Chain A
Amino acid sequence: MLPEDKYFQSRDDAAIWQRYCGFLDLSVDEFMEIQEGLLMEQIDLVAGTPLARRIMGGRKPRSLQEFRNTVPLTTYDDYQTYLGDQGDDALQEKPYFWVHTSGRGGNFKWIPYTQAAFSVFARYVIGGLILGSASRQGEVNFRPGTRILFTMAPRPYASGSLFYYLSEYVTLRTIPSMKEVETLEFQDAIQRAFKLGLRSGVDVIAAISSVLVKMGERMAGQTEKMSPSLSMLHPVVLYRLLRGILRAKLQQRKMLPRDLWPAGAVMTGGADTAIYKNELARYWGQVPYEVYAATESLLIAVQNWNRKYMTFLPGSAFFEFVPQSEWLKSREDPSYQPGTVLLNELESGQVYEVIVSHFYGMPLMRYRIGDLVQVMSLDDPDTGVKLPQITFKSRADGLIDLAGMTKLDEKTVWQAIASTGIAIEDWSARKEYENNQPHLRLYVEPREKVEAAHLEHLVDEQLREIDVDYRDLGGLLGLQPVRVTLLSTGTFGRYFEAKRNNGAHLAHLKPPHMNANDNTINMLVGLSEVNG
């Protein structure tokens, strides 16, 4: 029997809820006690390793305060020599597995995970699956054997690794199987997942929000043109199709994905989740359940069962937070060591950069993960959670500063574009100068005919609605800083193909939404002109 299955076999729902979701009942003091206990244990574990000795300057901190005073904040550059080639000589123990993500300039960041660490993350992921399929406190709908429709990146990306190794802890039926996902191209894996899901049924959908939105859009537009195929003759598939058609007809609307794949939970993450929340709910029948995950720490925070805000996981990593003012100083002067605060010192409404220190013999210490989160409140009266409630704000390097007055993040720009009502295939934004005046340049591939000037006006209007500082920028300085470059139809698709043909890895197939470099922008514009 798998390690986590035994709890579902032998314990009642109350105990299961407490094991996997009980962290929501912790007080801030209890949370901090756990954090400090695990950190001190971690220091004991790794103090003798070459990597930790280097990071800690040869001195083993004896207290949390000493740790924060003597160990500097780090970035991946501090670990590159030791971890870049997946060597384990400098580590405390041989890793259970390695994961990687895209780094700057196409270099991968490799992160090792110990088995002890993963067993904790496995518990938290199951907690996320329970919370994601619950509508009230104590409700446990997740069971071993749950069918998970998986449309994320395969191993050694974090999401793929997470579900691959999770199946060694709890019985899961991923659709397609995690081994099959690794043999398929990403696009093919997505198609295969939905095809198989039609036959097997689905309990949970674990997917990237944009994939689900695209899928929903396509289905909503294509159901009436659905061409029959041999696979549809399978009795179960036929039954689901007929049921879906009947549901849609009864509600006098087009068929939506939720009619074919009615899932108990839709688990997703990323900046776009909040923007497409309503669309996702409409297409998939569930308000998406958001998690905050990163390659460097597989799961950092998860939403409560009311799907409002996220709560940090106490055993995930030791958390410190750089206040926005300190973060700005360090951005202007990279040599500046910003001060940090702890979870019990967070203030409502403030934005912080997240700093993590690993537990369980893993290597990162006071690591600048590069994400900004916003503390929405210090508790959640709706659910009774007494821990700070956060939302993901943006990547720290994903902000566009306009005239020092406003800092636009990916979520804000995305929301503004989405709210224009113009159908967009994809976009990329960065700061450019025109006559020494900074402006926000959007490279946009529209799906419908639109004039650049009109789109500029619409985006500007939406930004004024969404962002108070941006409104001031316009109001006080009389600036309209949005500029739009329209890209021809299929530009992003061609970019994707060109990258794939060049052997680029999955993480680099799409251009970044914010602050893309010159090469990327030139390539996009070039590909647009080829077609135009």
Chain B
Amino acid sequence: MDSTDSFVTPAYLAPPLAAFCLSLVLVAIVLVGSGRNRAHKLLALLILSTGLWALFIFLMRWSPDTSQALFWNKLAVSFSFFTPAFYYHFTRVYTGRHQSGFWLIIAYMLPAISFLLMPTGLIVQGMSVQYFGYSPVFGPTMYVLLVIVYAVLALGFRNLVLAYRSSTSYEERNRLVYLVLAISFPMIGGIFELFPSAYPATIFGNLMFGGATAIAILKYRLLDIQLILRRGTAYLLMSVMVALPYAGIIILSTQMLGTTRTIWVHLALLLVLAVALLPLWGRVRHMVDKAFYRDRYDYLKALEEFNQKAHDIRDFHDLATSLVRQIRPAVKAAVVYILLPGPDGDFRPIVSSRAGVGASKLAQTVHLEREAPPPVLAGDGLLVKWLRHSDVALDAGNLDIQPHLQSISARDRSELERTMARLLIPLKMKNKELAGILLLGEKLSGQPYSQEDQTLLHTVASRMAVELENARLYFLERTMRRELEEQDQRKTEFLHSVAHELKTPLTAVISSSELMGNDYDALGPDQKAALINNISTSAWKMNKRITELLDFARVQRGMLFLDVQRLDCVSLVQDVVSQLGILFTGKDQTLMVDMPDELPWLNGDRAKLEQVLTNLLENANKFSAHGGHIRFRASQLNDKVLMEVEDSAPPIAEEERLKIFDPYYRGEDADRRQRLPGLGLGLALVKEIVKLHGGEVWVTVRPGSGNIFMVSLPVPGTQVTRDIEDLDLVLRGYD
């Protein structure tokens, strides 16, 4: 073909020129929008390289003869090798994925090799003229280079796919879809170039590539690819729905009725379709929207339903049930729990919703479990502490990433792994306190929770937290009322006990004194002595109770002071033990004292500490059976003296151990039928006295061998005792 007039037409010249102009515009947009962003600069270079390629292709197509076309084509081919290099480099920077620099070097060597070899004809040997225009004749090296080009493009493609899979952001994923699609266009288009007689499609591929990539980076928010696809699908469906009846009616009318296709038939049909089109268009669009935005549709529905129910439901448990019931299908989670703190501070599930086993009816087969199943998260663990501080959801996949969470306890970690927890959302009250945790298992699709999922969950969680706060306030109010009632009851019981504790010895005093007053002469000396002893014992009992009451009143007013002096610990113990010896022999009990010959001297109030030991030993005596063993141990442990009273009484229940040092608290007898005698002040006083000495008192249970009451007191010279001494000086100064 000698003349180029047959193919040098506007249709032949326009695409590369348009691609070049578009590239220039896009480069300008990218550069203006990029700031100092390295990825965007690489993108600009990438688009520029495709633009230059398009310019040289335009010049090639405009050439009057093959020799000039060959010159421009060689330039175009040489510049085209920049495209895979910039693309691969861009995906590395954009996705933050580091790979060996080997492929980057290879990618950038491509244009260098191309420029070096181009004059030799190893890459492009010449030009031929085809039906569409000029077509290059490639040399053998071109095919080798193309294999490398495709390998480099595939690596970039892989970077984007991996980034897509690890991204949880809807926007980010959408943007990556653009970029993945974009690289597909030139990759497909390039294949046509290998066949000289095939129409050169790369120019169109590059046009689409440049446009799609730039839109993905800069304009994604304005032009959602889902929107294009959604609208496109809707129009396609509509076209099919219009075209099919139209064509059908025309065919029918022509073949069956023999009617000729006059303009009237067409007009009538168009009129009918136009009338039907509007509602049809609305329905189709709604259908397509729902299909495309299934997730958001479900979210909005779930939110709407929850908002309605949150107003209607007063019972907290029902509200929680309703919440998990709506949340689980909306985010397509395998399981959803709401965890609330229990009395021990650990967070336990109060309600859960699970997807059923049947694959076809997942959304419907929801069952609720009222019993609290695992997982249980430690209230004082690092995981819950993190959730207390955090306002954002915790993706369990980040447990190994965030430094604070890498150290969560093995127990919490195994709880999360066992239940396949994927997302934890703190339920925060207005005062920022952690009211509960919304815990979600993995998504049924196995995908990570998207940003949209998390946004929905946050919205619901904050709404839920408000309801939780209301429930908490209600619970607080109820608890306070119960406590007040209990206090009232305890006071009544206390008054009754005081009356009883004073009246019993008083009765003995009155009856003994009356007996002596009425029949004094008739009584023998032994009887008189017994009655006097009775009066004296009873008076001392009353005195003891009254002293207890007075001491406790001082404690409550903060007026119980210590008369601090240096104390020999060993003699203190020996004195108390010798005074109480008679108590133990009275019940055939054995008191074993295990104490070294020497113990450090203490700074303390001798009388008060005697009161402590007496009280503990009397209790041991009182609650141990006849013939039981009581062991007293004293030892030094670092900077403390430790005293232990081990009885052989029935073990004190755990819940009772928590209250036993509370004022007015009296345990129940073994049958739990009635309260034990006393005012319930002895151990409360012990605790206060030990506390004033800078020490601690607690009780533990030794299985099979009763209870151990332990008192630790600081040895002088430690900070605590210095504080006591200072306090004592201050108090004396006030005296």
Please determine whether B404 and A30 come into contact, CB atoms closer than 8 angstroms.
yes
A12 to chain B, nearest CB (A): 4
Please determine whether A33 and B401 come into contact, CB atoms closer than 8 angstroms.
no
Chain B residues with Cβ under 8 A from A123's Cβ?
Answer: 406
Please determine whether A12 and B96 come into contact, CB atoms closer than 8 angstroms.
yes
Count of A residues near B, CB < 8 Å? 33
Does B407 count as interface, using CB distance less than 8 angstroms? yes
B171 to chain A, nearest CB (A): 17
Does A242 count as interface, using CB distance less than 8 angstroms? no
A314 to B407 CA separation, bound complex (whole angstroms): 9
Please determine whether B409 and A41 come into contact, CB atoms closer than 8 angstroms.
yes
Chain A residues with Cβ under 8 A from B96's Cβ?
Answer: 12-14
Please determine whether B407 and A315 come into contact, CB atoms closer than 8 angstroms.
yes
Chain A residue at minimum C-beta to C-beta distance from B637: A57
Please determine whether A37 and B401 come into contact, CB atoms closer than 8 angstroms.
no
Chain A residues with Cβ under 8 A from B596's Cβ?
Answer: none
1/0 per position for A55-66, CB-CB distance to B under 8 A? Answer: 001010000000
Contact of A70 among B163, B380, B407, B638 (CB under 8 A): B638
Chain B residues with Cβ under 8 A from A328's Cβ?
Answer: none
Please determine whether A116 and B403 come into contact, CB atoms closer than 8 angstroms.
no
Does B95 count as interface, using CB distance less than 8 angstroms? yes
Does A38 count as interface, using CB distance less than 8 angstroms? yes
1/0 per position for B382-412, CB-CB distance to A under 8 A? Answer: 1001000000000000001111101111110
Q: Give B634-651 interface residues, CB cut-off 8 Å to A.
A: 637-640
A69 to B714 CA separation, bound complex (whole angstroms): 10
Chain B residues with Cβ under 8 A from A15's Cβ?
Answer: 401
A75 to chain B, nearest CB (A): 16
Does A238 count as interface, using CB distance less than 8 angstroms? no
Please determine whether B640 and A70 come into contact, CB atoms closer than 8 angstroms.
yes
A529 to B64 CA separation, bound complex (whole angstroms): 97
Does A26 count as interface, using CB distance less than 8 angstroms? yes
Given contacts A11-B166, A34-B404, contact A337 B639 (CB under 8 A): yes
**Majority-rule SS of A interface residues:** helix
Does A395 count as interface, using CB distance less than 8 angstroms? no
Chain B residue at minimum C-beta to C-beta distance from A13: B96
A158 to B96 CA separation, bound complex (whole angstroms): 35
A14 to B408 CA separation, bound complex (whole angstroms): 21
Does B673 count as interface, using CB distance less than 8 angstroms? no
Contact of A34 among B401, B407, B637 (CB under 8 A): B407
| Most chain A CB inside 10 Å of its own CB: which residue of B380, B385, B404 | B404
1/0 per position for B161-199, CB-CB distance to A under 8 A? Answer: 011001000000000000000000000000000000000
Chain B residues with Cβ under 8 A from A140's Cβ?
Answer: 98
Chain A residues with Cβ under 8 A from B163's Cβ?
Answer: 12
Please determine whether A37 and B409 come into contact, CB atoms closer than 8 angstroms.
yes
Given contacts A33-B385, A37-B381, A72-B638, contact A315 B406 (CB under 8 A): yes
1/0 per position for A1-35, CB-CB distance to B under 8 A? Answer: 00000010011111100110011011000100110
Please determine whether A11 and B401 come into contact, CB atoms closer than 8 angstroms.
yes
Given contacts A33-B382, A37-B381, A69-B638, contact A22 B402 (CB under 8 A): yes
| Most chain A CB inside 10 Å of its own CB: which residue of B402, B407, B637 | B407
Please determine whether B410 and A116 come into contact, CB atoms closer than 8 angstroms.
yes
Please determine whether A37 and B402 come into contact, CB atoms closer than 8 angstroms.
no
Does B283 count as interface, using CB distance less than 8 angstroms? no
Does A143 count as interface, using CB distance less than 8 angstroms? yes
Chain B residue at minimum C-beta to C-beta distance from A25: B403
Please determine whether A37 and B407 come into contact, CB atoms closer than 8 angstroms.
yes
A461 to chain B, nearest CB (A): 46
Chain A residue at minimum C-beta to C-beta distance from B403: A22
Does B97 count as interface, using CB distance less than 8 angstroms? yes
Chain B residues with Cβ under 8 A from A38's Cβ?
Answer: 407
Please determine whether A12 and B95 come into contact, CB atoms closer than 8 angstroms.
yes
Please classify how large the interface on chain B is, using the bins under 10, 10 to 19, 20 to 34, 35 or more.
20 to 34
B479 to chain A, nearest CB (A): 26
Chain A residue at minimum C-beta to C-beta distance from B698: A62
A59 to B696 CA separation, bound complex (whole angstroms): 14
Chain A residues with Cβ under 8 A from B640's Cβ?
Answer: 69-70
A254 to B639 CA separation, bound complex (whole angstroms): 64
A314 to B404 CA separation, bound complex (whole angstroms): 9
A12 to B169 CA separation, bound complex (whole angstroms): 15
1/0 per position for B77-99, CB-CB distance to A under 8 A? Answer: 00000000000000000011110
A213 to chain B, nearest CB (A): 31
A85 to B162 CA separation, bound complex (whole angstroms): 50
A41 to B638 CA separation, bound complex (whole angstroms): 23
A57 to B710 CA separation, bound complex (whole angstroms): 14
Chain B residue at minimum C-beta to C-beta distance from A313: B403
Chain A residues with Cβ under 8 A from B638's Cβ?
Answer: 57, 69-70, 72, 337
Chain B residue at minimum C-beta to C-beta distance from A24: B403
B642 to chain A, nearest CB (A): 8
Please determine whether B406 and A13 come into contact, CB atoms closer than 8 angstroms.
no
Please determine whether A19 and B385 come into contact, CB atoms closer than 8 angstroms.
no
Please determine whether A26 and B404 come into contact, CB atoms closer than 8 angstroms.
yes
Contact of A143 among B98, B382, B408 (CB under 8 A): B98
A310 to B166 CA separation, bound complex (whole angstroms): 33
A238 to B168 CA separation, bound complex (whole angstroms): 50
A72 to B382 CA separation, bound complex (whole angstroms): 27
Chain A residues with Cβ under 8 A from B411's Cβ?
Answer: 41
Chain B residues with Cβ under 8 A from A37's Cβ?
Answer: 380-382, 385, 407-409
Contact of B410 among A10, A23, A41, A72 (CB under 8 A): A41
Please determine whether A23 and B403 come into contact, CB atoms closer than 8 angstroms.
yes
Q: Give B88-137 interface residues, CB cut-off 8 Å to A.
A: 95-98, 100
Chain B residue at minimum C-beta to C-beta distance from A58: B637
Chain A residues with Cβ under 8 A from B410's Cβ?
Answer: 41, 116
Please determine whether B97 and A12 come into contact, CB atoms closer than 8 angstroms.
yes
A139 to B410 CA separation, bound complex (whole angstroms): 31
Chain B residues with Cβ under 8 A from A33's Cβ?
Answer: 382, 385, 404
Which 3 residue pairs of A and B lie closest in terms of their CB atoms, listed nearest first?
Answer: A22-B403, A12-B96, A37-B382
Add 13 more A-B contacts to A10-B162, A41-B411 (CB < 8 A): A7-B400, A10-B166, A14-B96, A15-B401, A18-B401, A19-B401, A22-B401, A34-B404, A37-B381, A72-B638, A143-B98, A315-B406, A315-B407
A-B contact pairs, 18 of them (CB 8 A): A10-B166, A12-B95, A12-B166, A13-B98, A18-B401, A19-B401, A19-B403, A19-B406, A25-B403, A37-B408, A37-B409, A41-B410, A57-B637, A57-B638, A70-B638, A116-B410, A140-B98, A315-B406
B interface residues (Cβ-Cβ under 8 A, vs A): 95-98, 100, 162-163, 166, 380-382, 385, 400-404, 406-411, 637-640
